[in-house]
Structure formats: C-alpha cells, structure tokens
Amino acid sequence: MTRMLIIGPPGSGKGTQASRISERLGVVAISTGDIFRDNVKRETPLGLEARKYMDAGDFVPDSVTNSMVRDRLKEDDVREGFLLDGYPRTPAQVVELDDILQQNELTLDAVLQLTAPDEELIRRLTGRAELDGRSDDNETVIRHRLDLYHEQTEEVVSQYEGRGIVKRVDGIGAIDEVTERVVGALNGTR
C-alpha cells in the first residue's frame, strides 16, 4: 500500500508524473487542480468560487480545498493507497491532512518533490497556455503562482523533510527520463 504526495512548482510535470506513478504503483491519483478545473468547466458553485482565485493565480481557499480532500479520501478507491497531486500546498493544509490521515489511522509513505528552474517553468506554462487556451497561464499569473509556491509550499516541503519522507527529483528532461528518476527515488536507488 502506498500513500504519497507529489509536490512541485506549477509546470514541473506533477500531473504527468502523478498519472504515470499511480499507474505503476496501482493507486489512484487525486489532483485538486483537475477537480477545480472540472468544476469551473461545469460552472458549479464550487467552480465559480474557485475560478476567481485560479484566474488571479491565487490558491483556492483552504476551507474549500480541505473539505473537498476530506470527502475524496473517504471514497473506496483510496483504500489501497493514493497519490495526492496539488495538496497540501500550505502549512495549514498539512495540519488538515494530518488530521484526515490520523482519523483514518493512516500515515504518508513519501513526499515526492519535482524541481525545476523558474524560467523553464514559465516557458513550459506559457507554451501550455497557447495550446490549451488556459486563462490561468499568462506570464504575470504564472510568476505570481511561482511566488506563492516559493512563499508557502516550500514550507510544506520543509515540514515533511523533518519527517524524513521527502524524495527530490529533477523535473527537467524527457517525460520517460523523469519517470525513471521518480521510480528510482521511490525505490531508494537514486
């Protein structure tokens, strides 16, 4: 059974690697970003609230995100493990996730951190915006999201480093190469 997080700055390949790793490990990948974007597309009340934050490059408030993750981790498909993508992003969300896991008598096995230089991330995200027409990926918003990541999410990584469960992987390179680095890090061969 594997219970892990994948953390990294916007554009570092978290979604791509989460999908590949969840398939290899046989656990469900849970992406808060995908859930938010789906709600925005369907114009649900959550989606309408989330959209104003996403379009500005801000994080969706913890209260909305925490509630969504708590509900998701109660579903049957996570009993054999999970890979959380995009959560927790703030120290307060770490506390909430600890509470959720403790209530279910679970612990995290690993926190996988993908790394990449900011300028490479900006190049990737502006290219993705052109292809996908994403309103949350213009350069100003991207730089703001990277600043938020450095200010808030890096503190999350520090908290997990104190628990000795962080595995850092360079997110630059071909997708297959990064996947092999991730597998190596998780297996302790890197």
| Annotated binding-site members for AMP | 32, 37, 58-60, 86-89, 93, 134, 145
145 as an active site residue: the answer is yes
Q: Among residues 20, 51, 72, 89, which one is catalytic?
A: 89
89 as an active site residue: the answer is yes
Taking every pair of Cα atoms in the chain, the longest distance, rounded to a whole number of angstroms, is 45
134 as an active site residue: the answer is yes
Q: Among residues 70, 123, 134, 190, which one is catalytic?
A: 134
Query: Which residues are annotated binding-site positions?
Result: 11-16, 32, 37, 58-60, 86-89, 93, 128, 134, 145, 173
Q: Among residues 3, 20, 51, 145, which one is catalytic?
A: 145
Q: Among residues 123, 128, 168, 190, which one is catalytic?
A: 128
Query: Which residues are annotated binding-site positions for ATP?
Result: 11-16, 128, 173
* Type of residue numbered 152: Q
Pick left, alpha or beta for residue 75 (phi over 0 → left; psi -120 to 50 → alpha; otherwise beta).
beta
Cite the active site residues. Answer: 14, 89, 128, 134, 145
